[in-house]
Amino acid sequence: MTSKIPVSILGATGTVGQKFVRLLADHPWFEVAAVAASSASAGRAYGEAVRWREQTELPERIAGLTVQPCTPPLPGPIVFSALDADAAGPIEQAFARDGAFVVTNARNHRMDPDVPLLIPEANADHLVLIDGQRQHRGWKGAILANPNCSTAGLVLALAPLHQAFGIEKIFVSTMQAVSGAGYPGVPSLDIVGNVIPHVGGEEEKMEGESRKILGRLDPDGVTPADFLVSAHTNRVAVVDGHLETVSVGFRRRVSPDEAIATLRAFRASPCVADLPSSPTPPVEIDLRSDRPQPRLDLERGRGMAVTVGRIRPCPILDLRMVLLGHNTVRGAAGQAVQIAELLVADGRVGARP
Ligand SMILES: NC(=O)c1ccc[n+]([C@@H]2O[C@H](COP(=O)([O-])OP(=O)(O)OC[C@H]3O[C@@H](n4cnc5c(N)ncnc54)[C@H](OP(=O)(O)O)[C@@H]3O)[C@@H](O)[C@H]2O)c1
């Protein structure tokens, strides 16, 4: 072991769990000390239990770790959760009660009033919610949540516009990759050559979560932003990357040039911008007429940037645009790692090496 901060991964065998393993393999501050999953995997070597789908080699040291059951304690102050939502609730609570900072990708606790739902570039100030959470619940640790993968890209792109102009209405239609459904996910006979115009629960999540993230932090918690959101979600035959077409209405008229200048100038606060996982810039603008595209633009900012294009007037609302976010990096493991980095930079966990 090195002087890095040990961390554990719950649900390490799944799609998001594997992305955690890959992103943490050579992380400057963190080192994977334990991997955990269901009773079907526990007790086996990780390299045997996992059906490794990442395009890099599984690191030998991690392949040799024995998969643990998802019961506390596991090593380290930070536990990343990539658990199926059916199992996540009580398991994550048990770890937080036991003293771990649980950074979760599951939906179970996202809308709890005392759980911060974070996109560090947009609302790092919501982190303080964990103080009340620990106090009220009597926990030594805390739960911090990552938004749903479609919400993460949408809100990162719209946060600068909301700050500058005030959003009143959002109309969004998604084209979501199959990896968003985990592994093995959507049967190939359902999705190849097809579009499925329904992603269970996703529209409600986008509508509620975006308002919480861009809400105002008050002494009693977060007052949700008061804009309206209408979301249509679709599953398409793309492996990774959620593309979203968006129309936005503002409190005043906003021209495409104003929006482009605002998005180009957007930078995270210095504390967030300096985190190892933070991309610079967080929002990339590509004004070529046929961009962004999942196959060509997904890895911008190592999967942590959102790419926005086709910014033009909308005859119904004010502006329309297309955006692309990486569902398992910005929308899941990558941003969860960034949130854990924020905990360290904020002095709440250990010391960075
Ligand atoms: N995929 C995405 O793009 C994405 C994006 C954002 C958020 N999320 C959320 O992230 C979480 C993980 O998603 P995923 O796509 O990685 O799912 P997945 O591929 O189905 O993986 C699920 C993981 O949970 C474990 N698990 C299942 N039941 C369990 C139980 N009863 N006890 C302990 N472990 C259990 C599985 O272990 P075994 O292998 O041992 O069964 C596996 O490691 C979900 O809550 C999902 O909604 C996913």
CA 105 to ligand 1 centroid distance, Å? 9
Q: How far is the CA of 163 from the centre of ligand 1 (A)?
A: 34
Q: How far apart are CA 333 and CA 192, in angstroms?
A: 26
**CA gap 103, 145 in Å, rounded:** 6
Inform me whether the pLDDT recorded for 1 exceeds 80: no
Output the pLDDT for position 78. Answer: 98
Percent of the chain beyond pLDDT 90?
A: 97
Tell me the best of 83, 104, 202, 239 to mutate to test the pocket of ligand 1, counting ligand atoms within 8 Å of each CB and taking the most: 83
Ligand 1 centroid to Cα of residue 37, in Å, is 9
Percent of all residues in the chain with a pLDDT value above 70, rounded to a whole number: 99
Q: What is the pLDDT of residues 10-50, one digit of tens each?
A: 999 999 999 999 999 999 999 999 999 999 999 999 999 99
Mean pLDDT of 166-178: 98
pLDDT at 77 over 80: yes
CA-CA distances (angstroms) from residue 193 to 134, 242, 309? Answer: 48, 17, 26
| Residue ranges in the chain assigned as alpha helix (H) | 15-24, 46-49, 60-63, 85-98, 120-123, 129-137, 149-165, 188-191, 202-213, 256-265, 270-273, 294-297, 333-345
Q: What's the pLDDT band for 353 if we cut at 50, 70, 90?
A: low
Nearest to 336 by CA among 92, 160, 158: 92
Residue nearest to atom 12 of ligand 1 (CA): 82
For residues 143-167, give the mean pLDDT: 98
- Is the minimum distance from the CB of 42 to ligand 1 under 6 angstroms? no
Is residue 145 over pLDDT 60? yes
Per-residue pLDDT, 351: 63
pLDDT tens column, 89-134? 999 999 999 999 999 999 999 999 999 999 999 999 999 999 999 9
pLDDT score, position 56: 96
The pLDDT, as a whole number, for residue 314 is 98
**Dist CA 277 CA 129 (whole Å):** 22
Residue 283 has pLDDT above 70, yes or no: yes
Q: How confident is the model at residue 2 (pLDDT cuts 50, 70, 90)?
A: low
Q: What is the mean pLDDT of residues 189-218?
A: 97
For the CA atoms of 241, 153, 302, 269, the dihedral, rounded to the nearest 10 degrees, stands at 180
**Is the CB of residue 245 below 6 angstroms from any atom belonging to ligand 1?**
no
Whether the Cβ atoms of residue 168 and residue 250 lie closer than 8 Å to each other: yes
Instruction: Decide: pTM greater than 0.85.
Output: yes
Say yes or no: CB of residue 87 within 6 Å of ligand 1.
Answer: yes
